[in-house]
Amino acid sequence: RKEVEQDPGPFNVPEGATVAFNCTYSNSASQSFFWYRQDCRKEPKLLMSVYSSGNEDGRFTAQLNRASQYISLLIRDSKLSDSATYLCVVDVNYGQNFVFGPGTRLSVLP
Amino acid sequence: DTAVSQTPKYLVTQMGNDKSIKCEQNLGHDTMYWYKQDSKKFLKIMFSYNNKELIINETVPNRFSPKSPDKAHLNLHINSLELGDSAVYFCASSSQGGENTEAFFGQGTRLTVV
């Protein structure tokens, strides 16, 4: 089983749609959780950290369920500029090992 | 100011050659990493250094040798390059410990072995 798994994608959605990404992780001792975004031929960049109580940043909402070892990302009112690959990332060793999921590609269509 | 910078951005070289990729961070971070992103776009950690000491060394051929002359630099030297080494190599850094300490990435080095 991979350490971090994500929806295989790709997701093709119209502008304005709401889209949800799911992620599961296998290491129950993982400390921190993140969603990164990677545009084509660019480096990954932090989209948002994921806190135990859930957190929201504008149109983006992240949830964490430690008991189920499950992380989610919800994007509301999708924009064309949201098109990218979304990477679920888990810190398994106190900032010394960030494990990436395979990513889910999102295309927002006009 | 670029936080994590790596050079070169593109590298095309022949099989059997030896090459180096340099990485520098000006964020004052304690931990630096090398990741490899293959043709399937999967990002996998290769090495992790904390305060110039090797912390993680994943299953990587010993043709790959990281060198950290100081906390701000982590270079990657590759001997006897093979076709399968073609990938994008990302350097990253983060501060030590704490919750929700994110990793910052360099722009990547696209290595093509011909």
Please say whether the beta carbons of B45 and A89 come within 8 A: no
A60 touches chain B (CB under 8 A): no
Give the contacts of A87 (CB within 8 A, at least 6 positions apart).
A6, A35, A36, A37, A38, A44, A100, A101, A103, B43
Q: How confident is the model at residue B50 (pLDDT cuts 50, 70, 90)?
A: confident
Which residues 6+ apart lie within 8 Å of B12 measured at CB?
B112, B114
Contact B42 A34 (CB under 8 A): no
The whole-number pLDDT of residue B6 equals 96
pLDDT tens, position by position, B77-91? 999 999 999 999 999
Q: Is A45 on the interface with B (CB under 8 A)?
A: yes
Contact of B74 with chain A, judged by CB distance below 8 Å, is answered with: no
Residue-level pLDDT at B98: 61
> Does B12 lie at the interface with A, CB-CB under 8 angstroms?
no
Interchain proximity B97–A91, CB inside 8 Å: no
| pLDDT tens for each residue of A50-89 | 988 889 999 999 999 999 999 999 999 999 999 999 999 9
DSSP 8-state class, residue B101: -
Task: Note the pLDDT of residue B97.
Answer: 62
Quick check: A96 and B44 CB within 8 A? no
Best probe of the A interface among B2, B43, B46, by most A CBs < 10 A, is B43
Per the CB < 8 Å rule, is A31 touching B106?
no
In sequence order, what are the residues at sequence separation of 6 or more whose Cβ sits closer than 8 angstroms to the Cβ of residue A104?
A: A6, A7, A8, A9, A10, A11, A21, A85, A86
User: Please, which pLDDT band fits residue B100 given cuts at 50, 70 and 90?
Assistant: low
Q: So what's the pLDDT on residue B1?
A: 64
